[in-house]
Chains A and B, each alone.
Chain A
Amino acid sequence: MAVVAIVVFMLLRLTTGDPAAIIAGDNATSQDVAAIRERLGLDRPLVEQFVIWLGRLLRGDFGESFFFKKQVSELILERVEPTLALATCTIVLTVALAIPLGILAAWRRGTWLDRIVMGFSVLGFSVPVFVIGYLLIYLFAIELAWLPVQGYQRLRDGLGGFVERLILPSVTLAVVFVALIARITRASVLEVLNADYVRTARAKGLSELPVMVRHVLRNAAVPIVTVIGVGIAVLIGGVVVTESVYSIPGLGRLTVDAVLARDYPTVQAVILVFSVVYVLINLLVDLSYTFLDPRIRY
Chain B
Amino acid sequence: MSRLRSLAAVVVVALVVVVAAPAPTVAETTLRVVMHSDLKIVDPIWTTAYIVRNHGYMIYDTLFAMDAKGDIKPQMVDKYEVSKDQLTYTITLRDGLLWHDGKPVTTDDCVASIKRWAAKDSMGQKLMTFVKDIQIVTPKTFKIVLNEPTGLVLGALGKPSSNVPFMMPKRVAETDPNTQISDFTGSGPFVFRKDEWKPGDKAVYVKFDKYKPRPEPPSALAGGKVVKVDRVEWKWIPDHQTAMNALIAGEVDYLEAPPHDLLPIAKADANVKLVDVNPLGNQYTFRFNALARPFDNATVRQAVFYTFNQEDFLKAVVGDPAYYKVCKSFFPCGSPLSSPKGMEGLLESNFEKSKALLKEANYDGTPIVLMHSTDLAVLTNLAPVAKSLLEKGGFKVDMISMDWQTLVARRAKKDAPMAGGWHAFLTSWVAADILNPVMMGFMNASCDKAMFGWPCDKEIESLRDQFARETNPAKQKAIAEAVQVRETQYPTHVPLGQWYLPSPVRKNVDGIIQAPVPVFWNVTKK
Q: Which residues of A contact B452 (CB under 8 A)?
A: 30
Q: Which of B38, B162, B246 contacts A257 (CB 8 A)?
A: B38
Contact A25 B242, beta carbon cutoff 8 Å: no
Does B213 reach chain A (CB closer than 8 Å)? no
Does B377 reach chain A (CB closer than 8 Å)? no
Q: Say yes or no: A18-B237 contact (C-beta < 8 A), given A27-B48, A78-B198.
A: no
Does A177 reach chain B (CB closer than 8 Å)? no
Does A111 reach chain B (CB closer than 8 Å)? no
Instruction: List 17 A-B pairs, Cβ < 8 Å.
Output: A17-B405, A24-B47, A25-B50, A25-B162, A29-B122, A30-B451, A32-B120, A75-B199, A78-B198, A149-B246, A149-B249, A152-B201, A247-B242, A249-B201, A257-B40, A260-B403, A262-B409
Q: Which residues of B contact A137 (CB under 8 A)?
A: 242, 245
Q: Which of A16, A38, A249 contacts B198 (CB 8 A)?
A: A249
**Which residues of B are in contact with A by a Cβ distance under 8 Å?**
38, 40-43, 46-50, 52, 120, 122, 162-163, 176, 178-180, 182, 198-201, 235-239, 241-243, 245-246, 248-249, 251, 375, 402-403, 405-406, 408-412, 420, 427, 433, 441, 448-452
Interface magnitude class on chain A: 35 or more
Contact B246 A150, beta carbon cutoff 8 Å: yes
Q: Which residues of B contact A17 (CB under 8 A)?
A: 405-406, 409
Q: Which residues of A contact B406 (CB under 8 A)?
A: 16-17
Give the most central of A26, A27, A38, A249: most B CB within 10 Å: A27
Does A253 reach chain B (CB closer than 8 Å)? yes
Per the bound structure, the CA–CA distance linking A275 and B239 in Å amounts to 28
Contact A149 B200, beta carbon cutoff 8 Å: no
Q: Which of A69, A145, A260 contacts B249 (CB 8 A)?
A: A145
Query: Which residues of A in the span 111-132 have a Cβ within 8 Å of any Cβ on B?
Result: none
In this complex, what residue of B is CB-closest to A130? B239
Per the bound structure, the CA–CA distance linking A246 and B406 in Å amounts to 27
Q: Which residues of B contact A249 (CB under 8 A)?
A: 198, 200-201, 236
Minimum Cβ distance to chain A for residue B150 (Å): 21
Contact B239 A30, beta carbon cutoff 8 Å: no
Contact B163 A253, beta carbon cutoff 8 Å: no
Q: Which residues of A contact B47 (CB under 8 A)?
A: 23-25, 28
Q: Which residues of B contact A22 (CB under 8 A)?
A: 405, 408-409
Q: Which residues of A contact B441 (CB under 8 A)?
A: 26-27
Per the bound structure, the CA–CA distance linking A79 and B375 in Å amounts to 24
In this complex, what residue of B is CB-closest to A141? B249
Per the bound structure, the CA–CA distance linking A36 and B179 in Å amounts to 8
Query: Which residues of A in the span 9-64 have a Cβ within 8 Å of any Cβ on B?
Result: 16-18, 21-33, 35-36, 38-39
Give the most central of A32, A33, A257, A261: most B CB within 10 Å: A32
Minimum Cβ distance to chain B for residue A129 (Å): 12
Per the bound structure, the CA–CA distance linking A18 and B413 in Å amounts to 10
Q: Say yes or no: A247-B405 contact (C-beta < 8 A), given A33-B412, A69-B182.
A: no
Give the most central of A38, A137, A145: most B CB within 10 Å: A137
Q: Which residues of B contact A289 (CB under 8 A)?
A: none
19 more CB-based (< 8 A) A-B contacts, given A28-B451, A137-B245, A150-B246: A16-B406, A17-B405, A21-B409, A25-B50, A27-B441, A29-B122, A30-B412, A30-B451, A32-B120, A79-B200, A134-B241, A138-B245, A149-B251, A245-B242, A247-B236, A247-B246, A253-B238, A260-B405, A262-B409
Query: Which residues of A in the span 126-164 have a Cβ within 8 Å of any Cβ on B?
Result: 134, 137-138, 141-142, 145, 148-152
Minimum Cβ distance to chain B for residue A151 (Å): 7
In this complex, what residue of B is CB-closest to A23? B47
Contact B427 A26, beta carbon cutoff 8 Å: yes
Contact A149 B245, beta carbon cutoff 8 Å: yes
Contact B200 A257, beta carbon cutoff 8 Å: yes
Q: Which residues of A contact B403 (CB under 8 A)?
A: 260
